[in-house]
């Protein structure tokens, strides 16, 4: 198995290094036989090659078994014509990593931002290749335009193909969990685009009679996430809604830094932390690597499931369990969740728990 390691910007190199340390510990324990290849992306690549993402890196990723992608400061990149490519968008669109899988759950031993007595354990299945994002909804050109200095127009693309396949992934996931899917939409206003998305979700639901299905307006879903988060199991949403709801859910659960995330297609999966690059704490050993470590664990489980490889599935589950063990101990938490240890010490504690 060959993984491509892309450290990225800000705290990316630190949390990726931590996740790789844990991955290598899992490799030793479960005999995964993973080899690692490293490439530069982001500002390091921009300085060296004049672009934040070279085409050669995308091609190399296409030939790998998995990718570990660090955080990116893409809001600070120069314009695309000056080399500032959005790395995540390029991976999602050009490698067809259409499913952005984002779990969020509370832990009894950690404080959350939920209402007293409320618990959360859900997964947001976000379509990642189309929607309102202007860099991925046109064959040529850009999905936003300004006909005049005082007018801006944005175009959204929703297709039957992308809507049906993300809905199918959501129902397949629900079959392994509590067997409930909620389709998020705003079809009462966006009759055609969200209407098509909802039509596709309802069609796929007929293939999964064991799964309870409901649809919910996106604005109502935000209220229910706060008031009744326990009603949700798997939420499926188009790109824009899924992006917002996943950040909200993770923050409610305690922190954006506590949940893993993958970008998955039919043949390739990329581990990517849910949070941003936090350049203000870069290179200070302050970052919480939990999200990145759990993202790599999700990558291993994805490979185990897709390829019927029990060792990878077991390794991913063991990484999850080791992180839980470390988080449960107040002495082995990072500062952002009330602890006192740094990035390296946290990953070392996870490695030790994994070895046990």
Catalytic residues: 133, 186, 219, 243, 247
Pinpoint the alpha helices (H) of 206-289.
218-227, 239-253
Three-class SS state of 167: helix
Cβ atoms 326, 346 nearer than 8 A: yes
Q: Which helix (H) or strand (E) holds 325?
A: helix 310-328
Max distance between CA atoms of the chain, in angstroms, equals 64
Three-class SS state of 116: coil
Distance CA 10, CA 141 (A): 30
First to last CA, the chain: 24
Cβ atoms 194, 242 nearer than 8 A: no
Q: What is the 3-state secondary structure (H, E, C) of 127-162?
A: ECCCECCCCCCCCCCCCEEEEECCEEEECCECCHHH
Distance CA 340, CA 5 (A): 28
**Residue that has been written with the tokens 């504690």 in this structure:** 349
Count the alpha carbons within 13 Å of 314 in the hemisphere toward its beta carbon.
10
Tokens, residue 3: 């993984």
């Amino acid at each position: 198995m060959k993984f491509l390691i892309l450290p990225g910007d800000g705290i990316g190199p630190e949390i990726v290094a931590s996740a790789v340390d844990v991955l290598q510990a899992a490799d030793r324990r479960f005999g995964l036989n993973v080899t690692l290849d490293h490439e530069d992306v982001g500002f390091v690549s921009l300085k060296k090659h004049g672009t934040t993402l070279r085409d050669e890196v995308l091609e190399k990723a296409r030939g790998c078994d998995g990718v570990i992608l660090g955080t990116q400061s893409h809001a600070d990149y120069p314009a695309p014509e000056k080399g500032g490519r959005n790395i995540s968008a390029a991976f999602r669109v050009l490698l067809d990593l259409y499913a952005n899988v984002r779990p969020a759950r509370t832990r009894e031993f950690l404080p959350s931002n939920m209402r007293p007595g409320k618990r959360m354990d859900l997964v947001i299945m976000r379509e990642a290749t189309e929607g309102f994002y202007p860099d991925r909804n046109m064959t040529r050109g850009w999905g936003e335009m300004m006909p005049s200095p005082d007018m801006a127009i944005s175009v959204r693309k929703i297709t039957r193909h992308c809507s049906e396949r993300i809905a199918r992934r959501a129902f397949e996931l629900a079959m392994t969990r509590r067997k409930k899917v909620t389709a998020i939409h705003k079809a009462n206003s966006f009759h055609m685009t969200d209407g098509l998305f909802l039509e596709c979700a309802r069609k796929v639901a007929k293939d999964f009679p064991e799964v309870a299905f409901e649809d919910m307006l996106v604005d109502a879903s935000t209220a229910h996430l706060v008031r009744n988060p326990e009603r949700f199991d798997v939420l499926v949403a188009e790109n824009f809604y899924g992006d917002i709801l996943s950040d909200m859910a993770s923050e409610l659960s305690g922190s954006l830094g506590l949940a893993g995330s993958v970008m998955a297609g039919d043949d390739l999966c990329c581990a990517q932390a849910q949070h941003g690059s936090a350049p203000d704490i870069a290179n200070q050993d302050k970052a919480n690597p939990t999200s990145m470590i759990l993202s790599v664990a999700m990558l291993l489980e994805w490979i185990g499931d897709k390829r019927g490889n029990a060792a990878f599935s077991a390794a991913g589950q063991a990484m999850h369990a080791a992180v839980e063990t470390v988080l449960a101990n107040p002495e082995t938490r990072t500062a952002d969740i009330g602890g006192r240890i740094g990035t390296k010490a946290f990953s070392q504690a996870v490695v030790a728990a994994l070895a046990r």
